[in-house]
Amino acid sequence: MMKNLPIIALDFDSASAVHDFLDQFDEPLFVKIGMELFYQTGPQLIDEIKAKGHNIFLDLKLHDIPNTVGKAMEGLSKLNVDLVNVHAAGGIMMMKQAVQGLRKYNQDIKIIAVTQLTSTSEAMLHDEQKINTTMDEAVLNYASLAHTAGLDGVVCSPLETTMLTEQFGPTFLKVTPGIRLNSATTDDQQRITTPQQAKELGSTHIVVGRPITQSDSPVEQYNIIKESWLQ
């Protein structure tokens, strides 16, 4: 069962850095393991984090031919994680096989699709991907493919969630990075909201990294973000 907590992006490069970070908290968390960490540590870290009672979003963003993604998901379905993802750009068939593979050993893991990365600008959409629509239309189209394929939701910007809730209902997951407590510290995120704004706009989960992990007082920052999100 996925907790309704802010998801902390564990963007560290070693298992020991992760444990040092997690040991500061004395409550169950929801954490995200991305490519850089997973490729350094492998599945063992997942069991170690699970043993501490935390929920895990394994953010590997699979994108390949349908058969390969389906088989890869069979592997991930043996891992003790709560949420996984693919790129919606892989298409409906790829996403359907991803769901099928994931359900082989586990019925409970949720699966969502990345729509357009928040690092992609509208200019890149037009000039590089040759998608001649607005960003909102491109995101809506990818979300629609994910919905048709039977996925549980999408990763998107908090500023795109309202239209997705209108189209696919409140239970379709909208997992949103790009969260900051104030606009002074954006890092490389382009389109940010506060946790409270994200909730009001319809995010079902927020992902927060550097504002917590790079802070001098991570537990304090986490609690401020959690309060803003849960209120």
CA nearest to 73, candidates 99, 92, 50: 99
Tell whether residue 64 is among the known ligand binding residues.
yes
Query: Active site residue: 50, 64, 96, 136, which one?
Result: 64
Residue 13: active-site member: no
First to last CA, the chain: 21
For 53-63, letters b (16+ CB in 10 Å) and e give: ebbbbbbbbbb
Q: How far apart, in whole angstroms, are the C-alpha atoms of residue 176 and residue 185?
A: 17
Tell whether residue 129 is among the known ligand binding residues.
no
The CB-of-12 to ligand C5P minimum distance in angstroms stands at 11
Structure tokens at 22: 């997690």
Residue 174: active-site member: no
Residue 64: active-site member: yes
Binding site for ligand C5P (CB under 6 A): 9, 11, 34, 117-118, 155, 177, 187, 189, 207-211
The CB-of-104 to ligand C5P minimum distance in angstroms stands at 26
Q: How far apart, in whole angstroms, are the C-alpha atoms of residue 213 and residue 12?
A: 9
- In the complex with ligand C5P, the residue whose CB is nearer, 9 or 198, is 9
List, as residue ranges, the binding site. Answer: 11, 32, 59-68, 118, 180, 189, 209-210
List, as residue ranges, the binding site for substrate. Answer: 11, 32, 59-68, 118, 180, 189, 209-210
Q: Enumerate the active-site residues.
A: 59, 61, 64
